[in-house]
């Protein structure tokens, strides 16, 4: 699982997530081309702990 994380003024939030890295990279490119505020980063999502 991969996540698109937007860093804006020190605050980070997950804007998109998908199983395929390429899908997340394409959404990151769309963010960059739109001239939206914030730095877009693609990260591998942390695995959730089982209960």
The structural domains of the chain, with segments of one domain joined by +, span: 2-44
Name, in order, each residue with C-beta under 8 angstroms of 13's C-beta and a sequence gap of 6 or more: 5, 6
Give the Cα separation of 9 and 26 in Å (integer): 23
Give the Cα separation of 4 and 50 in Å (integer): 23
What pLDDT digit, counting tens, does each position of 14-51 carry?
A: 999 999 999 999 999 999 899 888 999 999 988 775 66
Quote the pLDDT of residue 47: 77
């Amino acid at each position: 699982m991969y996540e698109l994380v937007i860093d804006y003024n020190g605050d980070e939030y997950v804007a998109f997530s998908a199983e395929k890295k390429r899908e997340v990279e394409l959404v990151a490119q769309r963010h960059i081309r739109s001239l939206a505020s914030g730095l877009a980063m693609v990260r591998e999502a942390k695995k959730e702990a089982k209960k």
